[in-house]
Chains A and B, each alone.
Chain A
Amino acid sequence: MTEDLSSFPLHLEGANVPMVRFAKVTKSYGALTVLDQLDLDVATGEMVTVIGPSGSGKTTVLRMLMTLEKINGGVIYVDGEPMTHMEKGGRLVAADNAHLRRVRSKIGMCFQHFNLFPHMTALENCMEGPTQVLGLSKAEAKARAETLLEQVGMAAKRGHRPAQLSGGQQQRVAIARALAMRPKVMLFDEVTSALDPEVIGEVTNVIRKLTSEHALTMLMVTHQMGFAKDISDRICFFYKGKIEEQGSPKELFDHPQKPRTQQFLSAVREAI
């Protein structure tokens, strides 16, 4: 990457430093540009939901922030410091592994397919990060995991392996597992998309409850428009790798300005 990064600040300073900033972030797979010069700020404590048709790049936004995808241009800042890059000799260079790991520790993520570790119980899943990464003792990690499993209503199933749990239960354990790392930012990537309709509510309710109890900044991709409307401070509608329109849930859902947004929302409503 021989990009000129001199226009990007080494750190974000001032009164309103966002928790997350995408600064002119570009992502492409070969000739296909998935995200084109994305600028997006998420304030501390803000709940932002990304919606849009498939292929609009919305999941890629979360995956880049979790460092699961490398970016091709621009800089991502987390908590005021660059994440995809680091300072070296007064300028930004690509982040090394140690820097990535340090900044990444501020971010947690839940996935569409849960991705629980199948060879561990619910409790062990929630203890893995705290013991292996944060260096907590087994007793401390266990206490923390049990509290969180209690909060997501999974305390009774703490000794169960993922294969013995329903999708909704697995997703609740996955939420507890992510929160056990005490992240500042939580990413929810279509966490209800793989669930049967009747259990979607148990997962969305857990997210509603936890986001109000934990001081979290949240970035979410979902197809549950009602849930997005309830929980979000801001909705971003993505179309072809760009933010086509954004605003408060009320503005965006009730009075969409752009034709693409109107089309998408009416198509979604018809589907329900």
Chain B
Amino acid sequence: MTTAWDWAFAAEILPRLIHATGYTLLAAGGGYLIALILGLALTFLQRSRSRVLTIVVREVMEFVRSTPLVLQIFFIFYVGPQFGLRLSPWTAGMIAIGLHYGAYLSEVFRGGIESVPKGQWEAATALNLSTVKTYVRIILPQALPSALAGMGNYLVGILKDTPMLAVIGVTELLHAANTIGAESYRYLEPYTIVGLIFLLLSLPAAALIRSAETWVRKKLGLNA
């Protein structure tokens, strides 16, 4: 084993790592989708008129946010079967990510909804719009621009947290790098390349989020 960078080896393992990048994106995308849906559901539950429900949801979210993601991954995957919840590493992983980040995204959505002036709700009431239509047609479109930055940040956060899924055997980037290392006893090249791939994925994300925000504001005719 040498310490010098081996270009030939790097080129040899690159296809495997690019292949694994696809799985990383899949895990991040799937987890994000669950987090978005769950986050929005939590937001509505927390805004419900039932005081008990509001408190329960708030405490559950606080619990989820205050415990480590990796513990939640282990818990769902290893403890779940004791309660009859047998999930594949992929499903367990995406649920864990979705749950963890759903709790965070819910706060982002709440902030976005609260940024919409009270007068918009009142105008919707005066027009006799139903609660659902008030949300869908009036409030959420106006909440979106201010929520986008937070939504984007957590997308990058999820992407960077996908390596945690390697601990339960999800074959994403870090898992692939570990396997390569174990086979060849060379870790320098696979880990370096994995780092670079994450850098290449994360860097444009911030710029993309900003332009999405500008685009949505313009599209909706809202002030920047």
Contacts and interface: CB of A to CB of B under 8 A. Distances in A.
Nearest to A128: B127
Contacts, number: 64
Nearest to A132: B133
Nearest to A187: B126
Nearest to B126: A109
Interface residues of B, number: 20
Interface string A47-89: 0000000000000000000111000000000000000000000
A66 B127 contact: no
Nearest to B116: A118
A113 B126 CA distance: 14
Nearest to A68: B122
B140 to A, nearest CB: 10
Interface string A96-119: 000001001101110101011111
B119 interface: yes
Contact of A108 (B119, B126, B138, B141): B126
A229 interface: no
B137 A66 contact: no
Contacts of A178: 126-127
Contact-size category for A: 20 to 34
Interface in B165-224: 220-223
A115 B222 contact: no
B88 interface: no
B128 A115 contact: no
9 interchain residue pairs of minimum CB distance: A115-B123, A115-B119, A129-B127, A161-B221, A119-B220, A109-B126, A133-B128, A119-B141, A105-B128
Interface of B: 117, 119-120, 122-123, 125-130, 133, 137-138, 141-142, 220-223
Given A105-B128, A111-B119, A163-B222, 16 more contacts: A68-B126, A101-B128, A104-B128, A107-B126, A115-B120, A117-B120, A118-B142, A119-B141, A128-B129, A132-B137, A133-B127, A133-B130, A163-B221, A178-B126, A178-B127, A181-B127
